[in-house]
Amino acid sequence: MPQHPATPSTALPAFVGRHIGPGEADVAHMLAVVGQPSLDALVDSALPHLIRSDAPLALAAADSEAAVIAELRALAGRNRVLRSMIGLGYYGTISPPVVTRKILENPAWYTAYTPYQPEISQGRLEALLNFQTVVSDLTGLPIAGASLLDEATAAAEAMTLMRRSTRLPDDAVLVVDTHTFPQTLAVVQTRARPLGIGVVVADLSAVTTGEQLRAAAGGMPVFGVLVQYPGADGQVRSLSALAAAAHEIGALLTAATDLLALTILAAPGEWGADIAVGSAQRFGVPMGFGGPHAGFMSVRAGLERSMPGRLVGVSVDAHGAPAYRLALQTREQHIRREKATSNICTAQVLLAVIASMYAVWHGPEGLAAIARRVNAHARTLARGLSAGDIEVLTSAPFDTIRVAGAGSGPQTAARGRRARAEHLGGRRGHPVAQLRRDDNPRRPRHGVRRVRDRRSRRCSRGF
């Protein structure tokens, strides 16, 4: 073994030294306790030489904290911050100042981890129980979890939950409606591939019987159906007949839905959905360049034991008083691997708490008022476009309308350039425009004509 100096070297860069607690005297004491003369000797004795490199790491000297912050600020300054006109589950929202100040910017909340010790986590558990209650009330399903990663992975979790909960042949498939958000479909397909689950994408708008649903699946048995409510095209559809058709052939139905829309629309549980998933971003969580946002899942009675993630329950303490605890944890780190129902169900506790407190701040009537305002502005925009001889394709919108595309050519290209100059961001893909309203109460800076720009424009406009 090579010889090492008796005095350990703990010379560290300023930033690292500030965050690594032990000083030179502390390190020397710990080395004496374990009987090693230096940190290098400790590593030599603990790490097999077969897997250790003798060459030093080729790392440049660390910059100071101030220099790193300046570099990151310069990189961030290269972003073009546009008004989002994409929609599809991402909306402008107003975070109540008290929620921002007391929760989002409060280290007691934003550094908290899983409440494994309920005796010191009652406040966080109560806030999560409130989140579960909000989701359960709005979706019309009795059991809701304490948040998931996001809407797309929640839909993937719903797929595997439906597969586990149905007694159908191994070749049974999941049928996804064509009006599902594209990012949700992509994650579902990616998750299904290594699991050997078949995914069929079909337009289910006219499906009302089990026979029609099986035909839409190409004659394959169907274990589950995934629909978007309201649809990605903005249409609010009646899905009760589709849910009955799924149940007729032994399948379950998942509704990927919008909590704000559910304050004025029929709850999925009322028209037959077995599972509801979605994102709580709209409840006061900033878009944050696409994330993170808290997903949610709620289920009908009988499916709760197969739910992924965590479930907060109410119990009693040693004195007989009400107390909160984690009643269900189903990740591989919590239970035996073969019994685990998920390994991608990371919770978004902070963002779920923000969403729950947003609901508390506004109350049921306040949330419904926001939803009615969003819907009223979408309908006003539809009437304005129709008056301007633009064909509106969405007959029953919540916050999104779909209009005939502007085609191609110099005029369309000019509209696109003007939209970019005015800091509007959109999405290409289909020869239609989708205009989405959000709950940001600012008046629009741009006229109706200006959002009728390119082919495949999906728009999310403030008002």
Give the list of residues 6+ apart from residue 119 with CB closer than 8 angstroms, or none: none
What pTM did the predictor assign? Answer: 0.80
What mean pLDDT do residues 341-346 have?
A: 64
Task: Name all domains of the chain by residue range, CATH numbers in brackets.
Answer: 14-51 (no CATH), 97-359 (3.40.640.10)
Residues 174/223, Cβ–Cβ less than 8 Å: yes
Q: Quote the tokens at residue 275.
A: 């599972």
Planar angle of CA 76, 80, 86, nearest 5 degrees:
120
State which amino acid sits at residue 78.
Answer: R
Residue 158: which of 300, 280, 259 has the closest Cα? Answer: 300
Quick one: pLDDT at residue 461? Answer: 29
Most confident option among 44-53, 205-214, 336-345, 445-454: 205-214
What mean pLDDT do residues 260-273 have?
A: 98
Report the C-alpha gap between 274 and 80 in whole angstroms: 42
Quick one: pLDDT at residue 196? Answer: 95
User: For 75-79, 121-125, 342-346, which range has the lowest pLDDT when averaged over its residues?
Assistant: 342-346
| Average of per-residue pLDDT values in the chain | 84
Residue 223: which of 204, 246, 244, 194 has the closest Cα? Answer: 246
Q: Provide the b/e sequence for 315-354 (b: ≥16 CB within 10 Å).
A: eeeeeeeebbbbebbbbeeeeeeeebbbebbbbbbbbbbb
Strands 173-177 and 198-202, bridge-based pairing:
parallel
Quick one: pLDDT at residue 280? Answer: 96
Report the C-alpha gap between 112 and 109 in whole angstroms: 5
Residue 231: which of 167, 286, 178 has the closest Cα? Answer: 178
Residue 42: which of 28, 53, 54, 56 has the closest Cα? Answer: 28
> What 3-state DSSP class applies to 425?
strand
* 29: pLDDT strictly greater than 80: yes
Report the C-alpha gap between 438 and 92 in whole angstroms: 5
Quick one: pLDDT at residue 41? Answer: 92
What mean pLDDT do residues 447-458 have?
A: 30
pLDDT, tens digit (0-9, with 9 covering 90-100), for 306-330: 888 889 999 998 899 999 998 877 6
pLDDT, tens digit (0-9, with 9 covering 90-100), for 398-441: 998 888 865 556 666 666 677 666 666 655 544 445 556 666 54
pLDDT, tens digit (0-9, with 9 covering 90-100), for 138-177: 999 999 999 999 999 999 999 999 999 999 999 999 999 9
Report the C-alpha gap between 398 and 262 in whole angstroms: 10
